[in-house]
Amino acid sequence: MHYNYFRDYDPQTGRYVQSDPAGLVDGPNTFLYARARPISITDRLGLASDEECCRRSMELGQHRDPPSSGWTLCCEGRKVACANDPYAPGKAASIRRKCTMVHERDHLPYTTCESCTKEPVRTSFSPGVDRDRAECSGTRKGIECLKNSINECGNDEACRRYIRDKIASLSIWSQGCGK
């Protein structure tokens, strides 16, 4: 049995012994840990995983204001990177998400997180941070990730075309970096 500040966790069953004190955070079963996927999802604070914070942020429409395939947010006092690209076909979707996460994680050191509320809040760049320079850095890292990941498409030509097009459009945008 492990005590995690809010309730006791039983590693043999992969469940909490007490119900979630915050309510239905982890779905309809209030005794679950990390949506019953404790190996693939972290639950550092015992309340909500990064994945759950991103999902809730999307439910609140925070990925649409401004429209974005990636964004950073503050969730329960920690910085979280999120990604979503509903237009990427098949295998390209997981590659696009992975590389968007590389881009967004590059922003985390330069963002502020002052909210400890249960609801996720979009972060902003810290005062004094050059937003354009930060976007350029993240974009370069995202492009590099896409280039290194295109072979994951295998023989899926739609995937390869999508990734090549995304590399081209991001490369055109990044030409203005450093000017």
Residue 27 has pLDDT above 90, yes or no: no
Residues 151-178 pLDDT 10s: 999 999 999 999 999 999 999 989 888 6
pTM passes above 0.85: no
Q: Which residue has the tokens 């469940």?
A: 15
Residue among 131, 137, 133 nearest 105 (CA): 137
How confident is the model at residue 177, as a pLDDT? 84
Residue 179 pLDDT level (bands cut at 50, 70, 90): low
In sequence order, which residues have a C-beta less than 8 Å from that of residue 27 and are 6 or more positions away? 35
**154 token code pair:** 């295998």
Q: Which residue has the tokens 């012994």?
A: 17
How confident is the model at residue 48, as a pLDDT? 75
In what helix (H) or strand (E) does residue 65 lie, and over which residues does it extend?
none
